[in-house]
């Protein structure tokens, strides 16, 4: 056998279009291979470029009881991802070259998905002093995305300085938009549901006011701003306004699968599995977010995969940590909310789950077309294979999925990273 196996993927439907064969040699898609080492019958399966997640909590270092780079990478590969961005709210915080390099190296060792550490904007996520952004950018991890996610860079002067540094580094600042002074004690979206349940209301203005401020700072500085987990109709309106009135403003935004599907009424069972930051919103917001994703106002889907240990979720609502698993359910939830509703076709799914996030993060080898000469990063999806979510059966250490018992309409069957299968027939592949 040659040094690198050649593969023919036969009868597959790229972007859900007409069946064809894809060929892989040396980690790259090629026109054809003679006498391939392996042929995979992919009749009926849809091929997309490998998915890219700009917002994953892998919890390493320090939160290994909830997730590790290894278990999170497995969940990502099983979800069809070939690249994930690991948020820095770890313990210690990823605010230095040492920590980002550790996460990056662990990702390479595990090898199931490209793991890109996100660097903290401020030291310890405390919002006061800028972290060593330049040092993290210069480290082997080559950090190009910075965020204090979990916390907002609330101070406008700190945010402006962060944007100025990011511009100099050709990096992007991903903002968790939440004016903390408006959310002290807040537990659930401020509306009739929270009032009925006796949960302290979470004013959506906390998000919208920061989005408005930050798009203006982006325009002023010329830097790149990415808005994390956009969750209200008005936040989407602000993005539209920013682009219409400020030619060339460099802003992008993501929406999570749970903010596309679930609404604030989910809290009615008082089950903290539905507690998340930002909180689940009313159906008028989910509908507006779906439209905003379809028309490009919101650029992409990001999971905000947030595993939590049992003791952080199996408690009363107000004591529970916010966050939910997302990596293995993201694609099916996007299909449910965007494809089954006619808002996006499979090309659109490739755009919002792979191409746009890769572009925002500046990845040259992800989110590429399924064409000869391009890196063989792909996911093959069975559009007819429904499955039922069981938290205990997911690859994550934690099991805090909000979709327990729910039927998902499509399954990830195979995932390939640079010509190597990371998932075959729904199973993670070990080293070969
Ligand atoms: O729900 C959330 N969980 N939102 C965040 O911003 C942080 C995340 C976490 O780290 O658990
Ligand atoms: Zn966040």
Residue 368 lies inside a defined structural domain of this protein: no
Task: For residues 362 and 174, give the distance between their C-alpha atoms in angstroms, rounded to a whole number.
Answer: 13
Per-residue pLDDT of the chain (432 residues; tens, 9 = 90+): 345 789 999 999 999 999 999 999 999 999 999 999 999 999 999 999 999 999 999 999 999 999 999 999 999 999 999 999 999 999 999 999 999 999 999 999 999 999 999 999 999 999 999 999 999 999 999 999 999 999 999 999 999 999 999 999 999 999 999 999 999 999 999 999 999 999 999 999 999 999 999 999 999 999 999 999 999 999 999 999 999 999 999 999 999 999 999 999 999 999 999 999 999 999 999 999 999 999 999 999 999 999 999 999 999 999 999 999 999 999 999 999 999 999 999 999 999 999 999 999 999 999 999 999 999 999 999 999 999 999 999 999 999 999 999 999 999 999 999 999 999 999 999 865
279 lines ligand 1 (CB under 6 A): no
Question: What pLDDT was estimated at residue 356?
Answer: 99
For residue 149, the ligand 1 atom closest to its alpha carbon is 6
In this prediction, residue 259 carries a pLDDT of 99
Do 61 and 38 sit in the same domain of this protein?
Answer: no
Query: Other CB atoms closer than 10 Å to residue 268's CB: what's the count?
Result: 11
Question: If you take atom 4 of ligand 1, which residue's CA is the nearest one?
Answer: 277
Ligand 1 touching residue 150 (CB < 6 A): yes
- Kindly state whether residue 370 falls inside one of the protein's structural domains: no
pLDDT digits (tens, 9 = 90+) for 186-228: 999 999 999 999 999 999 999 999 999 999 999 999 999 999 9
> What are the residue ranges of helices labelled H in 140-204?
156-169, 192-197
> Residue 213 falls within a domain, yes or no?
yes
Closest by CA to 414, choosing from 406, 404, 424, 405, is 424
What does the CA dihedral 419, 422, 427, 430 come to, rounded to 10 degrees?
A: 110
Give the model confidence (pLDDT) of 260-314 as tens digits: 999 999 999 999 999 999 999 999 999 999 999 999 999 999 999 999 999 999 9
Residue 402 lies in a domain: no
Distance in angstroms (rounded) separating the CA atoms of residues 347 and 340: 14
CA gap 399, 309 in Å, rounded = 8
Query: Would 338 be classed as within a structural domain?
Result: yes
| Residue 322 among known ligand-binding residues | yes
Catalytic residues: 304
Cβ(276) – ligand 1 distance below 6 Å? yes
Q: Does residue 401 belong to any structural domain of this protein?
A: no
State the alpha helices, DSSP H only, in 203-282.
205-221, 233-245, 257-261
71 and 203: one domain?
A: yes
Q: Say which ligand is closest to the CA of 279.
A: 1
The gap from C-alpha 349 to its chain's centroid, in whole angstroms, comes to 14
Regarding whether 98 and 86 lie in a shared domain, the answer is yes
The reply to whether ligand 1 has any atom less than 6 angstroms from the CB of 323 is yes
Ligand at minimal distance from the CA of 175 is 2
Considering only CA atoms, which residue is closest to atom 1 of ligand 1? 323
Same domain for 292 and 419, yes or no, is no
| Co-location of 41 and 54 in the same domain | no
Rounded to whole angstroms, how far apart are CA atoms 299 and 368? Answer: 16
Helix (H) or strand (E) holding 48: strand 46-49
| 323 in a labelled binding site | yes
Closest ligand to residue 227's CA: 2
Q: How far away, in angstroms, is 180 Cα from ligand 2 center?
A: 12
For residue 26, give the CATH number of its domain.
2.30.40.10
**Are both 23 and 110 inside the same structural domain?**
no
Here the CATH number for the domain that contains residue 171 is 3.20.20.140
**312 and 418 co-located in one domain:** no
User: Residue 379 forms beta bridges with which residues?
Assistant: 48, 415
**pLDDT at residue 2, rounded to an integer:** 41
Residues 306 and 262 in one domain: yes
377 is in an annotated binding site: no
Ligand 1 pocket, residue 306 CB under 6 Å:
yes
Which ligand is nearest to the Cα of residue 57, counting in written order? 1
Ligand 1, atom nearest to 89 Cα = 10
**N- to C-terminal Cα distance for the chain?**
14
Total number of domains constituting the chain: 2
Contact 196, 270 (CB under 8 A): no
* 278 and 327 fall within a common domain: yes
Which pLDDT tens digit goes with each residue over 32-49?
A: 999 999 999 999 999 999
Q: Which atom of ligand 1 is nearest to the CA of 306?
A: 11
How big is the chain, counted in residues?
432
> Contact, 253 vs 227, CB < 8 A?
yes
Residue 57 beta carbon below 6 angstroms from any ligand 1 atom? yes
Instruction: Say which DSSP state 240 is in.
Output: H
The CA 96 to ligand 1 mean position distance, Å, reads 21
**Top mutation candidate among 272, 321, 400 for ligand 1, by most atoms within 8 Å of CB:** 321
Q: How far is the CA of 38 from the centre of ligand 2 (A)?
A: 42
**Same domain membership, residue 164 and residue 20:** no
Distance 341 CA to ligand 1 centre (A): 28
> Ligand 2 (ion): which residues have CB within 5 A?
149, 176, 228
pLDDT for 5 equals 86
> Ligand 1 centre and the CA of 32: distance in Å?
45
412: containing domain: 7-46+375-396+407-428
Q: Kindly state if the Cβ of 178 falls inside 6 Å of ligand 1.
A: no
Domain presence at residue 1: no
Task: Determine whether the annotation assigns residue 89 to a binding site.
Answer: yes
Is 400 assigned a ligand-binding role in the annotation?
Answer: no
244 lies in the same domain as 150? yes
22 shares its domain with 107: no
In angstroms, the CA 417 to CA 115 distance is 12
Q: Cα(418) to centroid of ligand 1, in Å?
A: 31
Residue 82 included in any domain: yes
180 is in an annotated binding site: no
In 50-131, DSSP assigns E strands to: 51-56, 81-86, 114-117
Q: Is 149 annotated as a binding residue?
A: yes
Q: Is ligand 1 within 6 A of the CB of residue 307? A: no
407 Cα–ligand 2 center, Å: 27
Alpha-carbon dihedral 92, 96, 97, 98, rounded to 10 degrees: -30
């Amino acid at each position: 056998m040659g040094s690198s196996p050649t593969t023919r993927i036969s009868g597959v439907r790229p972007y859900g279009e007409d069946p064809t064969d894809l060929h892989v040699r040396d980690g790259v898609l090629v026109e054809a291979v003679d006498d391939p080492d392996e042929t995979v019958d992919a009749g009926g399966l849809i091929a997309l470029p490998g998915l890219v997640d700009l917002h994953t909590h892998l919890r390493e270092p320090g939160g290994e009881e909830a997730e590790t780079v290894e278990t999170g990478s497995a969940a990502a590969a099983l979800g069809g991802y070939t690249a994930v961005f690991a948020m820095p709210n770890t313990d210690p915080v990823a605010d230095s070259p040492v920590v980002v390099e550790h996460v990056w190296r662990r990702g390479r060792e595990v090898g199931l998905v490209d793991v890109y550490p996100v660097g903290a904007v401020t030291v310890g996520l405390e919002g006061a002093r800028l972290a060593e952004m330049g040092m993290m950018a210069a480290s082997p991890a080559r950090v190009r995305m910075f965020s204090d996610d979990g916390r907002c860079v609330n101070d406008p002067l700190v945010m402006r300085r962060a944007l100025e540094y990011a511009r100099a580094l050709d990096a992007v600042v991903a903002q968790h938009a939440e004016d903390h002074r408006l959310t002290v004690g807040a537990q659930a979206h401020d509306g009739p549901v929270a009032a009925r349940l006796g949960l302290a209301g979470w004013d959506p203005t906390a998000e919208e006011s920061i989005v408005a401020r930050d798009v203006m700072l982006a325009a002023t500085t010329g830097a790149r701003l990415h808005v994390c987990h956009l969750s209200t109709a008005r936040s989407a309106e602000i993005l539209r306004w920013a682009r219409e009135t400020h030619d060339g403003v460099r802003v992008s935004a993501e929406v999570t699968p749970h903010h596309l599907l679930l609404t604030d009424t989910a809290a009615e069972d008082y089950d903290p599995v539905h507690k998340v930051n930002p909180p689940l919103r009313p159906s008028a917001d989910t509908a507006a977010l779906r439209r905003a994703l379809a028309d490009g106002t919101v650029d992409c889907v990001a999971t905000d995969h947030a595993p939590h240990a049992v003791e952080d979720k199996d408690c009363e609502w107000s004591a529970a940590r916010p966050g939910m698993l997302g990596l293995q359910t993201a694609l099916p939830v996007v299909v449910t909310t965007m494809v089954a509703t006619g808002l996006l076709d499979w090309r659109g799914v490739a755009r919002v789950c792979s191409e746009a996030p890769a572009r925002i993060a500046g990845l040259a080898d992800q989110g590429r077309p399924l064409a000869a000469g391009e890196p063989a990063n792909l996911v093959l999806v069975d559009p007819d294979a429904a499955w039922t979510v069981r938290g205990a059966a997911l690859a994550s250490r934690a099991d805090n999925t909000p979709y327990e018992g729910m039927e998902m309409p499509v399954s990830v069957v195979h995932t390939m990273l640079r010509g190597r299968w990371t998932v075959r027939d729904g199973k993670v592949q070990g080293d070969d």
